[in-house]
Amino acid sequence: MKKRTFGAIVLSAVLAASLAGCSGGAMTEITDKETNKTETASGSEEDSKDSIKVGILHSLSGTMAISETSVRDAELLAIKEINVAGGVLGKQLEPVVEDGASDNATFKEKAEKLLLNDKVATVFGCWTSASRKAVLPTFESNNGLLWYPVQYEGMEASKNIFYVGAAPNQQIVPAIEYMNENYGKKVFLLGSDYVFPRTANSIVKKQAEDLGMEVVGEEYTPMGHTDYTTIISKIQDVKPDFVFNTLNGDSNVAFFKQYKDAGLTPDEIQTLSVSIAEEEAAGIGASYLEGHLVAWNYYQTTDTPENKKFVEAYKAEYGEERVTDDPIEAGYDAVYLWAAAVEKAGTTDVDQVREAAGGIEFKAPEGTITIDGENQHMYKPVRIGMVNGEGLIDEVWSTDGPVKPDPYLESYEWAKGLSNVQ
Amino acid sequence: MKTMKKIKGTTILAAVIFLLLAALPFYMPMFRVSLFGKYMCFAIIALGLDMIWGYTGILSLGHGVYFGLGAYCMAMYLKLEAAGGNLPDFMSWSGLDRLPAAWVPFGNPVFAVAMAVAVPVLLAVIIGYLTFTNKIRGVYFSILSQAMAMIMGTLLIGSQAFTGGSNGLTDFKTIFGQDIHAPVTKIVMFYVTLLVLVLLFALCRFLTGRRVGKVLIAIRDGENRAGFAGYNTANYKVFVYALSAFMAGIAGALYVGQVGIISPAEVGVVPSVEMIIWVAIGGKGTLIGPVLGALAVNSLKTTASENFPELWSYFIGVLFVVVILWLPGGVISLKEIPGKIRAKLRLHREETSSAEEKIPDKTAVRSK
Amino acid sequence: MELFLMQLFNGISVSSILLMAALGLAVTFGLMGVINMAHGEFLMVGAYTAYIVQKLFIAYLPAGVFDAYCIVAILLSFLVAAVLGFILERLVIRRLYGRAADSLLVTWGISLILQQAARSIFGSPNVGVKAPSFLEKSLRIHGMLSLPYKRIFILILAVFCLFGVYWLMYRTRQGRNIRAVMQNRDMAAALGVNTGRIDSATFAIGSGLAGLAGCALTWIGAIGPTLGTNYIVDTFMTVVVGGAGSLLGSVFGAGFIGIGGTAFEFFTTASIGKVLIFLCVILLLQFRPKGIFAVKNRALED
């Protein structure tokens, strides 16, 4: 009998040892909360130390790693540059990197860990809307700060998130206007089956109605869908003037390879993609994408002195064959924007940083971007580009200057009814 | 006498684990406590899976479906409560202007909790009855259940207006009127989960000790023989399958309250396989093994990915391979190692002491 | 009519791709009973091999012979995956025969390791592979009815592999030995078959077929660390619905899922199409619990 129990005790001792080592139990937190309600998760207490912890939360494994690892790289680059230049408030930045593993619940878990355990001053991260929506309650209830680097479907403005990517009126809406003027009125909507494409397309449908355009098809494919021949047949059957493409990740590769196989060219039926940037283009292969259109705020070829410097620094850090693109640039900008806001506020306290952030300008690689203090999105220029033979993107059209962000599309008459939130 | 001993060892282990869990909030920070709350939900699923796999020999690769059904039922209630009478946000941007009829009764918490249990059980009874009376067995059942997980994931994503699509359901505010982010609420949910885990553990303990448990093991070891002995094996299988679905459903409902999100990524093919892994690593066919497995694998995963965000997949992958290859009985079989070493030592002593006179015996032992 | 014919061709084409991807699994899972969750990663290994071969061709050989890379890539992707499969069988799979569930878990672990290894070696983003130029066109028959050469090539390749496996399994001594070992290991061993060597060789062949399929997949889809995850469930369905252990079953399974799936997709949507075809698989299993072409066996328990 002793022998058996011995084993059991060893096992439980191992378990106990693994659990111990953390002190300050949750029970004390409850009593703390009741006596001293003012303390927030992140912020002022960090000011006394000589480094500032910042969180980086992206998928480094799983299906989304194909896109997110490069954004992490750009964020780390910006942190490194800032540290070399003397840091923020005279302190060095100390990045804490976490893997969201392409899973919403993991994103939430890691966000909690960054805010509550590491007590980071801010977090740069997320890619999919799903991951952003998953961490949003965590950031709101703990008063944390998230800088989100990707274009998205809008209909959101949390006071705990700064949206560095494009709002719908800075990408989707002008892109449809451009296509309507230059390519025609029959549009085929194709997207991956998740929230961004469906919501983006519900915006497009309203806009198309307003512009007198005709939606001749609307298809969604499951994530990881590998065969597009059926959909391409449908496209050939209805002969649209252009395809509005919101496919994501691997699906784009399959779609464009098979699009070319079917004998379709951009001259015959043009496509406009909003989720294909330089990095995705490299993964698809330039020969399959040449001549197709994309809409973003930034390209590697964007002609500004800041961009020249950024592309050089990025390639020097990570290799000559690496490319920069819009979300990568936005991730890079996000770190600088936060640093500027902290310098202005004189503290990393979330409320004061938010207060200070409105109106901050940054000479970004894409041109000057400004934080809109009201909805915490950015004023950004809009650019339509065409993929060239090297897999880079040449600008074919752009707005005159930065466009004011309008996440709820309130300035458009036709968009009424899309959001009854706020 | 011998069985007596065995029961004692695992009982003590179970008691130690549950006591450690109960004491957790006193020595761990809040967010770790919530994590363990999540792991305990996983432990409940693992316990249920062990009943059908470890005891009955049916490998289900689709329990994410039942977990998901339980979780979504609960999440619908939480979402409605958070929306406070308005249309949940995702519905309006998905083009709905009225609450779908199927959602309406979920405003009632009692109904939601009842459904979180009833829906998985009902589906399990239907699926189980069909497949088991049609004698779908072995890997065919496993792959069939995997198809179910795939269907479930695709359906949830595809009907965004009703389920929130790939975002899932999140951003809850209150549960039964209490602030869902308040530490007190979280502690209460933690203890409720622990209580449910202990109760279900006791239930499984009770069942496996009765004749039902013996019949299940008989089905695992020789289904046809059990049938010839006069037992309607299909009925027993349907029962245990529904039981495990019931437990997965409860786990789902508890999970949503604590984690605050449920999305298709948590119910598809991959999480369903992970559930099996908890059971295998812990030790299938023992009740405390899967509980230990779920807790240990998940804490390890968290620790590894926090410390090595780039490389943790290697650790987890190697761990699976090593444990399954060298510890087929799971971590729980470690408890037999001291005994084995002692037996070896005794053998060795006997061999050396009696080497001269008992040479034939020695070769007999060796060749074994 | 044109649309119907085009759609029929699409269905057949998807079936041939599925068959290619599933043939290796039909060997490792269907014949050997290893629930090989790392099968998808063998596809990935083949795809990355094709990528490397292409890079080497671009770097070291004149542009004129570029198209020849596809022959080298096909052979090498088979070889590399086969060698990897051989090593894996010797080190790990060997210990798992007859433990189907355990083989699932171990190969799951291996698939995690291989995915992460691909990420460490090639980076997370997808890499681009260009198909040889003679495959880049399509055979335009009439109007919109055009058959891409790639698809025709993959179809031929699939048929070729199928007959290769058939010939190996049913027309050679080696194949007879393989079948003997899979049916009754002890009896085969007693009759002088070196079962250990047969196991390694069979698993290597199955893995090699997966690698070859991976090479073909580079022409129509994405090449990245998670390539395998897109195919793993579909390939298992293919093998199971036809009946594990039966080559004809896998052909049927591929045709059923490929043609049925594209037809459903055409009349509904891609998501609903996928749901419907999997529901059909579940329904079909209700009537034929061991697949359509179940191998007949008099044993009571198996």
Q: Which pLDDT score, from 0 to 100, does residue B2 have?
A: 45
Cβ of C286 within 8 Å of Cβ of B134? The answer is yes
CATH of domain A42-166+303-380: 3.40.50.2300
Nearest chain A Cα distance for residue B117, angstroms: 22
Q: Which residues of B touch C109 (CB under 8 A)?
A: 316-321, 324
Strand B169-170 to B261-262 pairing: antiparallel
B337 to each of B286, B295, C106, how far by Cα in Å?
16, 22, 22
CATH architecture of B2-329: Orthogonal Bundle (1.10)
Residue B360 has pLDDT above 70, yes or no: no
Provide the percentage of residues in chain B whose pLDDT is more than 90: 67
* Predicted pLDDT at B368: 35
Confidence of residue A41 (pLDDT cuts 50, 70, 90): very low
Q: What are phi and psi of A377, to 5 degrees?
A: -100, 180
Domain ranges of chain A: 42-166+303-380, 169-301+382-415
Q: According to the model, what pLDDT value does residue C183 have? A: 82
b/e burial code for range A396-406 (CB count within 10 A of at least 16 → b) = ebeeeebbbbb
What confidence score (pLDDT) does residue B98 get? Answer: 86
**Min distance A69 CA to chain C CA atoms (Å):** 7
Distance in Å, alpha carbon of B129 to nearest chain A alpha carbon: 30
Computed over every residue of chain C, the mean pLDDT equals 91
Confidence of residue A24 (pLDDT cuts 50, 70, 90): low
Among A265-269, A321-325, B333-337, C212-216, where is mean pLDDT lowest? B333-337
Give the DSSP letter of residue C150: H
Nearest CA-CA partner of B226 in B213, B239, B244: B213
CB neighbours (10 Å) of residue B212?
16
Give the sign of the dihedral formed by CA B12, CA B17, CA B21, CA B23.
positive
Nearest-by-CA chain B residue for C275? B151
Q: Could you tell me if C245 and C31 are in contact, meaning their C-beta atoms sit under 8 angstroms apart?
A: yes
- The pLDDT score that the predictor gives to residue B84 is 84
**Confidence band, pLDDT 50/70/90 cuts, at residue B332:** confident
List the one residue out of A114, A112, A105 whose CA is nearest residue A133. A105
Reading the block at residue B333, the tokens are 């079989």
Check if the interface score ipTM surpasses 0.95: no
Q: What angle do CA B238, B242, B245 make, to 5 degrees?
A: 145
The pLDDT, as a whole number, for residue A39 is: 43
**Cross-strand partners of A191:** A220, A246
CB of B126 less than 8 A from some CB of C: no
Searching chain B, which residue's CA lies closest to the CA of residue C108? Answer: B317
Whether B356 has a pLDDT exceeding 70, the answer reads no
Q: Which of A214, A355, A341, A190 has the alpha carbon at shortest distance from A275? A: A190
Cβ contact C149:C138 at 8 Å = yes
Estimate to the nearest angstrom the gap between the alpha carbon of B291 and the chain centroid: 8
* Across B281-308, average pLDDT: 93
- Out of C128, C131, C137, name the one closest to residue A283 (CB): C128
Question: Can you tell me whether residue A170 is helix, strand or coil?
Answer: helix
Backbone φ and ψ of C75, nearest 5°: -65, -45
Least confident range from A217-231, B227-241, C136-150: namely C136-150
Residue identified by tokens 């084409």 is C13
* β-bridge mates for residue B46, sequence order: none
Across the interface, which of B17, B29, B164 has its CB nearest the CB of A15?
B17
Closest CA to A146 of A167, A127, A124: A124
Domain A169-301+382-415 has CATH 3.40.50.2300: yes
C37 touching B (Cβ < 8 Å): yes
What is the enclosing helix (H) or strand (E) of B244? helix B233-259
For residue B85, pLDDT beyond 50: yes
Say yes or no to pLDDT of A17 above 90: no
Is the CB of A224 inside 8 Å of chain C's CB atoms?
yes
- Separation CA C96–CA C87 (nearest Å): 14
Q: Is A113 exposed, middle or buried (0-12, 13-18, 19+ CB in 10 A)?
A: buried
Task: For residue B199, give how far its alpha carbon lies from the nearest alpha carbon of chain A (Å).
Answer: 21
Cα C122 from Cα C52, distance rounded (Å): 10
Check if the beta carbon of residue A263 is closer than 8 Å to that of residue A138: no
Q: Which of A35-49, B254-268, B309-323, B326-340 has the lowest mean pLDDT?
A: A35-49
CA dist B95 and B102 (Å) reads 17
How close is the nearest chain C Cα to the Cα of A310, in Å? 20
Residues of chain B with Cβ-Cβ distance to A136 below 8 Å are 170-171
Question: Which residue from C101, C244, C285 is facing B59, i.e. has the nearest CB?
Answer: C101
C145 to chain A, closest Cα gap in Å:
9
Q: What is the mean pLDDT of residues B206-215?
A: 94
Cα–Cα distance list, A149 to A99, A326, B166, B335, C266 (Å)? 16, 9, 19, 50, 36
pLDDT (mean) for A306-319: 96
Do the beta carbons of residue C228 and residue C275 sit within 8 Å?
no
Domain assignments of chain B as residue spans, ordered by start: 2-329, 334-368
Q: Which of A30, A102, A112 sits opposite B31 (nearest CB)?
A: A112
The overall longest dimension of chain A from CA atoms, in Å, is: 85
Neighbours of chain B (3+ CB pairs under 8 A): A, C
Chain A residues within 8 A of C124 when measuring between CB atoms: 60, 65-66, 68-70
pLDDT (tens digit per residue) in C71-108:
999 999 999 999 999 999 999 999 888 788 889 889 99
The tokens describing C54, both together, are 């292409």
- C127 contacts in A (CB within 8 Å)? 282-283
Closest CA to A29 of C48, B187, C107: B187
Q: Is the pLDDT of residue C63 over 80?
A: yes
Establish if C97 touches chain B: CB-CB under 8 angstroms.
no
Mean pLDDT rounded to a whole number for chain A: 89
Cα separation, A395 vs A34, in Å, equals: 57
Contacts of A108 (CB under 8 A, 6+ apart): A134, A135, A137, A138, B259, B260, B261
What is the pLDDT, as a whole number, of residue C244?
83
Best of A63, A103, A257 to disrupt the C interface (most C CBs within 10 Å) is A257
Task: Extract the tokens encoding A407.
Answer: 């996440």
Do the Cβ atoms of B35 and A109 come within 8 Å?
yes
Q: How far apart are CA B167 and CA A195, in angstroms?
A: 7
pLDDT greater than 90 at residue B152: yes
Q: What pLDDT score was predicted for residue B361? A: 46
pLDDT of residue C302: 54
CB neighbour list of residue C175: distance below 8 Å, 6 or more residues apart:
C167, C168, C169
Interchain CB contact of A249 with C (< 8 Å): yes
* Contact flag C3-A233 (C-beta cutoff 8 Å): yes
Residue B16: what residue type? V
Burial grade of B360 (CB within 10 A; 0-12, 13-18, 19 or more) = exposed
> Which of A215 and B10 is assigned the larger pLDDT?
A215
Residue A23 confidence (pLDDT): 47
Cβ within 8 Å, pair B277-C105: yes
CA distance B64 to chain C (A): 15
Q: pLDDT for C215-243, tens place per residue?
A: 999 999 999 999 999 899 999 999 999 88
Give percent of chain C with pLDDT exceeding 70: 97
- What percent of chain C is modeled with pLDDT above 90? 69
Q: Which of A111, A398, A219, A153 is nearest to C273 (CA)?
A: A219
* Cα B328 to Cα B338: distance, rounded to the nearest angstrom: 17
Burial profile A47-56: b = 16 or more Cβ within 10 angstroms, e = fewer: eeeeebbbbb
Give the C-alpha separation, B34 to C97, whole Å.
40
Q: pLDDT tens across B36-56, in order?
A: 999 999 999 999 999 999 999
C242 or A331: which carries more pLDDT confidence? A331
User: CA B280, A131, A279 angle in degrees (round to 5)?
Assistant: 100
**Chain B within 8 Å of C110 (Cβ-Cβ)?**
yes
CA C45 to chain centroid, in Å, comes to 12
Say if residue C14's pLDDT is above 70.
yes
Asked if C270's CB is within 8 angstroms of A225's CB, the reply is: yes
What pLDDT does residue C33 have? 86
Nearest by CB to B93, from A4, A23, A199: name it.
A199
Question: Is the distance from CB of A281 to CB of A387 less than 8 angstroms?
Answer: yes
Q: Using 50, 70 and 90 to split pLDDT, how confident is the model at A422?
A: very low
Residue whose C-alpha is closest to residue A330's, from A165, A181, A203 = A165
Task: Tally C-beta pairs within 8 A across A and B.
Answer: 209
Q: What is the Cα–Cα distance from C128 to C221, expressed in whole angstroms?
A: 10
